[in-house]
Chain A
Amino acid sequence: MSRKQKKSLIRILIAAAMLAGFSFLPVEGTPRLIIYLIPYLVIGYDILKKAVKGIGRGQVFDENFLMAVATLGAIVLGEYTEGVAVMLFYQIGELFESYAVGKSRRNISDLMDIRPDYANLETEEGITRVDPDEVPVGSVIVVRPGEKVPIDGRILEGNASLNTSALTGESLPREAGAGDEVISGCIDMTGVLRIETTREFGESTVSRILELVENSSSRKSESENFISKFARYYTPAVCISALLLATCPPLVRMLFLGAAPDWKIWVYRALTFLVISCPCALVISIPLSFFAGIGGASREGILIKGSNYLEALSKTGCVVFDKTGTLTQGVFEVDGIHHNTMEEETLLRYAASAESYSSHPISLSIQRAYGKPVDSRKVTDVEELGGHGVSARVEGVSVAVGNAGLMDRLGIPYRECGKVGTVVHTAVDGSYAGHILITDRLKQNAAETVAALKREGISRVVMLTGDIRQVADQVAGELGITQVHSELLPADKVEKVEALLKDCKGKLVFVGDGINDAPVLARADIGIAMGALGSDAAIEAADVVLMDDDPLKIVKAVRISRKCMRIVYENIWFAIGIKLLCLLAGALGFANMWIAIFADVGVMILAVLNAIRALAVK
């Protein structure tokens, strides 16, 4: 508790004790009033002060002013206990609100406590502890077991298990050794690492994530905007009703019915109105629900850039996947070698050698399959044949490696492959030597993701890919996706998404790996970038960022958003409903001030407790 809160608690306790004690005192009339004014002033002096200041500024519908009018009114009517009690409960409500909000604020920032406090910089005089901000690119830092990696870099020396759970929600530690890239925010669990920094602190992963999280929920959702608007009209409306309630019925009774005006009854009912006039429960619990929802999601490695996206996510109608890197691993592997005229090993050596200067994923997969270093001195005359493949002289023999187009161009007859995948034909010394089949592997949870989305009621799952038709159809078949668009160029993907946007019921989610698909991410209602660790472009372009590359997190994100929105609507209906009921009961004389203060403070406390539920994630 802060000092302010402690002070408030002490005042509440003193006033409550006095109120309880005084009810036994056998005094009547003016002495009784004076006695009750003591706890009233103890508990309410700051409210009265603020109310007076508010009037000076022309802020009539300020909740302090309303509370002051309601309680002073009750005291004037001789209801001393109620006047003091309403003020007392109002203060209890305020204290609870400030405590609960402060607590969840701390809770959520603890969750995202990935900011490193220092870096161990290696200098000529030895290792010194410095602010991460002061470490230039290319310096060497030392990370010991138990410490956070403060800045992105490359390991020069040492091996360690890195805990990335604060970043990705993934509990399995990652092994890293010399030569590996490490990202800031991981916790070194086992060994001492010497790291050469590759970025400044401000550009490092950890800074980017913190920036994103801290600025999230500054984009407000429709529900939040509704509540701020509602609050602006609700209070004046209730106040005007209170004024009418206090004046109209007595006047009508007096002038038209010839009955006694009963001023006291009607003024009391009007004061009850004022007690219910504060929209606190809504104004605090709705943003708190979103804040908790976004906080809970970030603990799972799902970064949501604003409550508007959380709200949109709950209305997801269709999910469009880019194939490579989201449903498949985007890592190509040699699946088989067919129709080969020589030993597989020899064929692979020729192919890997010819491709040794290329960094295309396909070339890399062939080099990996060969598994041995290529003797680059034996490779000469390398020529890239744009879009078709490469030709080179390997060990003095001419070698051509590429697609069917390359074979056509060279006039070499080739054999089609019966299996689906990327086919790399090879020709050695001018004659066909066989082909290598390369496939991309499905992610472990890809099929489960599609099934789970359907279970969540999102039946429209679409796959877009630049890959060839056969591959796309086969992958879609394995995953149970019925709508596939293949052989698309990046620009075609934007067009397809625009077409889908037109006939999608609900919001359209596009899931990409953040490479080359920034325009599509931006065009969709919600762009989700996967496996974003280290990819700045994806963090910039997407609305929701998944820190690791598990597609099941998409389902989780949808579930979190739905739970959060359910809580938001529960709170809206509950708070508005109870208040309207109490207003009605108050006008008809069924509710007294005790019930009114429950409607105000009780509803607020319950709504806040409900809002905090959004933090827990299944």
Chain B
Amino acid sequence: MKKTYKIEVDCANCANKMEVAAKKTEGVKDCTVNFMTLKMSVEFEDGADVKAVMQQVLKNCKKVEDECEIFGI
């Protein structure tokens, strides 16, 4: 399953870091962060609990870049 979220982040490199952090999160199959459109699209593993996974994604992203936000979780 694939979902797209609006995000807030300051710099392009930070967006790349978020992408790497999100990809490493359990339950995430693949993820792309687009700095230009400020969108994060996440592909989940089958049967993943989307809400819980996204909470973890946000946590992991905050670890690498604390001034970031993911909306609509």
30 contacting pairs across A/B (C-beta < 8 A): A50-B66, A63-B13, A97-B11, A101-B12, A105-B36, A105-B38, A214-B37, A215-B39, A215-B41, A217-B34, A217-B37, A218-B4, A218-B34, A228-B16, A231-B13, A279-B13, A280-B11, A280-B13, A283-B11, A283-B12, A284-B11, A284-B12, A284-B13, A284-B35, A287-B12, A287-B35, A287-B36, A288-B36, A291-B36, A291-B37
Task: Please tell me which one of the listed residues A57, A94, A215 contacts residue B11 in the complex, with CB atoms under 8 A apart.
Answer: A94
Q: Which residues of A from 263 to 283 have beta carbons under 8 Å from B?
A: 278-280, 283
Chain B residues in 8 Å Cβ range of A228: 16, 19
In this assembly, does A165 line the interface, its C-beta being within 8 Å of a C-beta of chain B?
Answer: no
Bound-state CA distance A228–B4 (Å) is: 21
CB-CB under 8 A for A59 and B64, given A215-B41, A217-B34: yes
Chain B residues in 8 Å Cβ range of A505: none
Chain B residues in 8 Å Cβ range of A63: 13
Minimum CB–CB distance for A101 against chain B, Å: 7
Bound-state CA distance A288–B13 (Å) is: 13
**Binary A-proximity of B12-52 (CB < 8 A = 1, otherwise 0):** 11001001000000000000101111110100000000000
Chain A residues in 8 Å Cβ range of B63: 57
Asked if A280 and B34 sit within 8 Å, CB to CB, the answer is: no
In this assembly, does B10 line the interface, its C-beta being within 8 Å of a C-beta of chain A?
Answer: yes
**Binary B-proximity of A455-499 (CB < 8 A = 1, otherwise 0):** 000000000000000000000000000000000000000000000
Number of interface residues of A (CB under 8 A): 28
Name the residue on B nearest A285 (C-beta).
B12
Asked if B36 and A101 sit within 8 Å, CB to CB, the answer is: yes
Bound-state CA distance A291–B12 (Å) is: 13
Bound-state CA distance A413–B47 (Å) is: 68
Asked if B64 and A231 sit within 8 Å, CB to CB, the answer is: no
In the complex, besides A231-B13, A284-B35, 7 extra interface pairs with C-beta distance below 8 angstroms are A50-B66, A101-B35, A214-B39, A215-B41, A219-B32, A220-B32, A283-B16
Interface residues, chain B, with chain A CB atoms under 8 Å away:
4, 10-13, 16, 19, 32, 34-39, 41, 63-64, 66
**Binary B-proximity of A188-223 (CB < 8 A = 1, otherwise 0):** 000000000000000000000000001101111000
Chain A residues in 8 Å Cβ range of B32: 218-220
Chain A residues in 8 Å Cβ range of B35: 101, 284, 287
Chain B residues in 8 Å Cβ range of A97: 11-12
Asked if A218 and B39 sit within 8 Å, CB to CB, the answer is: yes
In this assembly, does A129 line the interface, its C-beta being within 8 Å of a C-beta of chain B?
Answer: no
Minimum CB–CB distance for A202 against chain B, Å: 15
Task: Please tell me which one of the listed residues A57, A215, A231, A291 contacts residue B16 in the complex, with CB atoms under 8 A apart.
Answer: A231
Name the residue on B nearest A288 (C-beta).
B36
Name the residue on A nearest B6 (C-beta).
A214
In this assembly, does A53 line the interface, its C-beta being within 8 Å of a C-beta of chain B?
Answer: yes
Task: Please tell me which one of the listed residues A57, A218, A290, A291 contacts residue B41 in the complex, with CB atoms under 8 A apart.
Answer: A218
Task: Please tell me which one of the listed residues B12, B36, B64 contacts residue A57 in the complex, with CB atoms under 8 A apart.
Answer: B64
Name the residue on B nearest A213 (C-beta).
B37
Q: Which residues of A from 203 to 254 have beta carbons under 8 Å from B?
A: 214-215, 217-220, 228, 231
Chain A residues in 8 Å Cβ range of B37: 105, 214, 217-218, 291
Name the residue on A nearest B16 (C-beta).
A228
Q: Which 9 A-B pairs have the closest CB atoms?
A: A291-B36, A284-B12, A283-B12, A283-B13, A218-B32, A218-B34, A228-B16, A218-B41, A287-B36
Minimum CB–CB distance for B27 against chain A, Å: 19
In this assembly, does A98 line the interface, its C-beta being within 8 Å of a C-beta of chain B?
Answer: yes
Chain B residues in 8 Å Cβ range of A215: 4, 39, 41
Bound-state CA distance A98–B19 (Å) is: 19
Asked if B4 and A280 sit within 8 Å, CB to CB, the answer is: no
Name the residue on A nearest B34 (C-beta).
A218
Chain B residues in 8 Å Cβ range of A283: 11-13, 16
Minimum CB–CB distance for A122 against chain B, Å: 33
Bound-state CA distance A433–B17 (Å) is: 77
Chain B residues in 8 Å Cβ range of A218: 4, 32, 34, 37, 39, 41
Name the residue on B nearest A109 (C-beta).
B37
Bound-state CA distance A231–B35 (Å) is: 15
Chain B residues in 8 Å Cβ range of A214: 37, 39
Minimum CB–CB distance for B20 against chain A, Å: 8
Minimum CB–CB distance for B9 against chain A, Å: 11
Bound-state CA distance A218–B4 (Å) is: 10
**Binary B-proximity of A84-114 (CB < 8 A = 1, otherwise 0):** 0000000000100110010011000000000
Bound-state CA distance A217–B35 (Å) is: 10
Name the residue on B nearest A219 (C-beta).
B32
Chain B residues in 8 Å Cβ range of A94: 11
Bound-state CA distance A288–B66 (Å) is: 23
Name the residue on A nearest B10 (C-beta).
A98
Asked if B12 and A217 sit within 8 Å, CB to CB, the answer is: no
Minimum CB–CB distance for A107 against chain B, Å: 11
Most interface-central of B35, B37, B41 (chain A CB within 10 A): B37
Bound-state CA distance A97–B35 (Å) is: 12
Name the residue on A nearest B67 (C-beta).
A50
Bound-state CA distance A98–B53 (Å) is: 30
Most interface-central of A50, A63, A219, A284 (chain B CB within 10 A): A284
Minimum CB–CB distance for A283 against chain B, Å: 5
Bound-state CA distance A280–B34 (Å) is: 16
**Binary B-proximity of A282-305 (CB < 8 A = 1, otherwise 0):** 011001101100000000000000
Minimum CB–CB distance for A252 against chain B, Å: 35
Chain B residues in 8 Å Cβ range of A279: 13
**Binary B-proximity of A115-139 (CB < 8 A = 1, otherwise 0):** 0000000000000000000000000
Name the residue on A nearest B19 (C-beta).
A228
Bound-state CA distance A219–B34 (Å) is: 9
Bound-state CA distance A423–B34 (Å) is: 55
Name the residue on B nearest A227 (C-beta).
B16
Chain A residues in 8 Å Cβ range of B64: 57, 59
Minimum CB–CB distance for B71 against chain A, Å: 14
Bound-state CA distance A290–B63 (Å) is: 29
Name the residue on B nearest A284 (C-beta).
B12
